[in-house]
A = this chain, B = another copy of it.
Amino acid sequence: MLKDLKVKNHKGEVKIGELKIGSNELVVMAGPCAVESREQILKAAEEVKKNGGQILRGGAFKPRTSPYSFQGLGEEGLKLLAEAREKKGLKIITEVIDSEAIELVDNYADILQIGSRNMQNYGLLKKLGKVDTPVMLKRGYAATIKEWLLSAEYIISHGNPDVILCERGIRTFETATRNTLDLNAIALVKELTNLPVIIDPSHGTGKRSLVNPLAKAGISVGADGIIVEMHPNPAEALCDGEQSLTISDFALLIDDLEKVAKAVNKSLII
């Protein structure tokens, strides 16, 4: 279905400075759902770095279902992410939720994240084709694999080849987990394209205790890395506390992933 597409003939690796996503070295992205305070994000960054992560995640602009929920710190959050990057020697990934915000976010981020609800915001995708910064495109929670790849094609065909996919769970009839992480999709996308693919077991399960086993599964099935929510104090998180790893959970996860990576002839970057 995809033979003449640019996603099919992609170079396969996306560089973030010296980091290469899509190689045999697996990348680890971690951090809180939202940037909440200077103290919180610096603490999170310190732990990401110490335990072997390379990229700090954290939302400054949050796409929330209710207009009355916390919407993020905005530019102040971007500045705190940049400070954490400087102090801890990490890269940062953060979400762009509107085409008008691209320029602002692009001033700070190393990777622009496009969230599930915006996967088919084609105006936004076209504009992302005009920036030089890599884009991580999350799969829509009810998007088919074909639709997802065609959304990546929008970005690439408009000029930006640096697209990374991210599987974050799909919406099904099952309510015992927040979403159903679709690991079939990882294997199929690897067969259909050369694009790097990251797995997000935090949103994919919605439950802290399931993040570790599903992250291992994601690496086994062929993902090029993980993105997980980790919070210094999940009980006080302003969003997604139930699915956020604690610092010790995160340290354990990295240990476990090293073994699984080796079993599939890969390694963590560390």
Contacts and interface: CB of A to CB of B under 8 A. Distances in A.
Interface stretch (A22-30, A42-50, A52-60, A117-125): A117-125
Given A99-B99, A120-B117, A122-B97, A187 B173 contact: no
Nearest to A117: B120
How many copies make up the complex?
A: 4
A166 to B, nearest CB: 16
A217 interface: yes
A175 B174 contact: no
B65 A150 contact: yes
Interface residues of A, number: 69
Interface in A237-270: 259-260, 262-264
A183 B219 CA distance: 13
Contacts of A106: none
Interface of A: 63-68, 97-101, 117-118, 120-124, 126, 140-142, 144-147, 150, 153-154, 157-158, 170-177, 180-188, 190-191, 204-205, 207, 209-210, 213-214, 216-222, 259-260, 262-264
6 contacts: A98-B121, A170-B172, A171-B173, A174-B185, A175-B175, A177-B185
